[in-house]
Amino acid sequence: MSREDDLRSQALTKPAFSETQASALVESVFGLKVSTIQPLPSYDDQNFHVSISRTKDTTDGPTEYVLKISNTESSKTPELIEVQSHIIMFLQAAGFPTASVCRTKGDSITSLVSVDNGSEITSYLVRLLTYLPGRPIAEIPISPQLLYEIGMLAGKLDKTLEKFHHPKLSCLHRENFIWNLKNVPLLEKYLCALGQGRNRETVAQVIQLFKDEVLTKLSHFRECVNHGDLNDHNILVEASKSASGGAVYQVSGILDFGDMSYGYYVFEVAITIMYMMIESKSPLHVGGHVLAGFESVIPLTPVERGALFLLVCGRFCQSLVIAAHSCQLHPENKEYLMITAKTGWRHLQRMFDMGQKAVEEIWFQTARSYDSGISM
Q: pLDDT (tens digit, 9 = 90+) per residue, 135-190?
A: 999 999 899 999 999 999 999 999 999 999 999 999 999 999 999 999 999 999 99
Q: Which residues are catalytic?
A: 229
- More confident call, 170 vs 60: 170
d(CA 16, CA 18): 7
Mean pLDDT to the nearest integer, 180-209: 95
| Cα–Cα distances in angstroms (integers) from residue 351 to residues 74, 105, 365, in the given order | 34, 51, 16
Of 138, 178, 176, 175, the residue nearest 321 (C-alpha):
178
Mean pLDDT to the nearest integer, 357-375: 88
d(CA 201, CA 350): 14
Map out the domains of the chain as residue ranges: 19-130, 135-372
Given pLDDT bands bounded at 50, 70 and 90, which one contains residue 335?
low
Q: Is the pTM of this model over 0.85?
A: yes
- Class of 135-372 in CATH: alpha beta
Q: Is the Cβ–Cβ distance between 178 and 251 less than 8 Å? A: no
Q: Is the Cβ–Cβ distance between 342 and 231 less than 8 Å? A: no
Mean pLDDT to the nearest integer, 288-300: 98
- Class of 19-130 in CATH: alpha beta
Q: What is residue 199's predicted lDDT score, i.e. its pLDDT? A: 93
| 19-130 and 135-372 have identical folds | no
